[in-house]
Structure 1
């Protein structure tokens, strides 16, 4: 547990952010980060499992892509997610991806089941979200656990080279170059899904932003879009998660 302490803290914090945003409020959902060509850190289920909102660095374990422990003691008392193939399929197929988030956002699931396509309905309200939606959000049409290579390959085919895929009746997979970005993508997508449901419930029509307005939206840069946004998300959860003393020895 001495190795990759900073990364373990980051993933634990990201799990808490997902829960605080309502994207993974219970015990389901996980985040992974590639740390080498053979190893990844992934949120595992431990002996005192309480859910994603209470994730600590001790719940983040270093494993091989086949799900076995990468070092002695890494999985003592912890088990890898059943859906580890969801993570490894994306990480092994896409060099542009280092982090994968799997969550169960109710609003995204509901919007998809209602036949509401995620579209760039907002502009300056959420510029990164508008660009994400404008790029397209595909749907994997099977509401099953992604727990083997065959299903993971199907999901990956549906996802293509895009950053997010909706898993029908299940949740989402969000992939990015960083844990922070993968989580922020999921938050933006969930916000748009929630607004879409509100619009339809109010009797309105979900309409995409005009192309000329999308083209006018500026790129506010990574410092604002990712780093500042991430500091806000961490602050909403009460601050940085500290490793337990015994995990540092």
Structure 2
């Protein structure tokens, strides 16, 4: 397999993980990867569209930052996401970002609409997620389809230098230095949203982890956070 073939499969696997975990259980959502300064691989809608749970490497097409196939001609029978600008404006704004995830997790949307922010309410239950939440997860307050550069620029401004931004009444955008990191960050935010809703439903009040406990949480490194965690997700999909 070429590097592009391997990356296409990685994007497809990431889409399947989002679906299997309930963050994109229909046909809405997409993942993209920066290939070079001018091109991305992105999950497109194909002629036999069935939803993210059935994404294949063939659905991942190479386009430029404006969504044009250029000399590759890769859009024959496929169409880029309406929200491609959501991805490409992130890439334009932050050269350190390699992958972008956009998904519609119901629990994330519900928690935000209920006025419940993503806070570090857990500890060792999810160390990367706790640290991400402690740094803040901003909200883009418009429930719009981010279909052009103007709206995408608004979302990017709301995101700031945070890796994840919630989109009110819509979903989330998660970024990372790899598909694995971007997907796992989205899973962590969804998990904290689910936990927050569960606490409130049980009659409790979510409380932030004390600073002294937060300071005790170690950085277990990417070999654990991404390596082991991603192998687990692949095993869940039957890809061992």
* Whole-angstrom CA distance in 2 between matches of 1:69 and 1:48: 20
Q: Is 1:30 equivalent to 2:35 in the alignment?
A: no
Larger relative contact order, structure 1 or 2 (CA cutoff 8 Å, min sep 6): 1
- Structure 1 residue aligned with 2:238: 238
* Whole-angstrom CA distance in 2 between matches of 1:70 and 1:120: 44
Helix, strand or coil: the match of 1:126?
helix
Cα deviation code 1:186-216 (max 9, x no counterpart): 0000000000000000110010000000000
- Structure 1 residue aligned with 2:144: 144
Q: Is 1:90 equivalent to 2:90 in the alignment?
A: yes
Does the CA-based 8 Å contact 1:139-1:167 persist in structure 2? yes
- Structure 2 residue aligned with 1:19: 19
How far apart are residue 3 of structure 1 and its match? 6.7
Stretches of 4+ moved more than 2 A in 1?
70-73
* Whole-angstrom CA distance in 2 between matches of 1:232 and 1:70: 37
How far apart are residue 95 of structure 1 and its match? 1.4
- Structure 2 residue aligned with 1:46: 46
Cα deviation code 1:65-124 (max 9, x no counterpart): 110004343000000000000000001110110100000000000000000011000101
- Counterparts of 1:174-189 in structure 2 under 5 Å? 174-189=174-189
Does the CA-based 8 Å contact 1:143-1:170 persist in structure 2? yes
Which runs of 5 or more residues in structure 2 are unaligned? none
Q: Is 1:74 equivalent to 2:70 in the alignment?
A: no
- Counterparts of 1:117-136 in structure 2 under 5 Å? 117-136=117-136
Cα deviation code 1:208-228 (max 9, x no counterpart): 000000000011111001111
Which runs of 5 or more residues in structure 1 are unaligned? 241-249
Helix, strand or coil: the match of 2:32?
strand
* Whole-angstrom CA distance in 1 between matches of 2:103 and 2:166: 10
* Whole-angstrom CA distance in 1 between matches of 2:109 and 2:56: 27
- Structure 1 residue aligned with 2:105: 105
* Whole-angstrom CA distance in 1 between matches of 2:122 and 2:199: 12
RMSD: 1.2
- Structure 1 residue aligned with 2:155: 155
Q: How many residues align?
A: 240
- Structure 1 residue aligned with 2:58: 58
Helix, strand or coil: the match of 2:175?
strand
How far apart are residue 2 of structure 1 and its match? 6.6
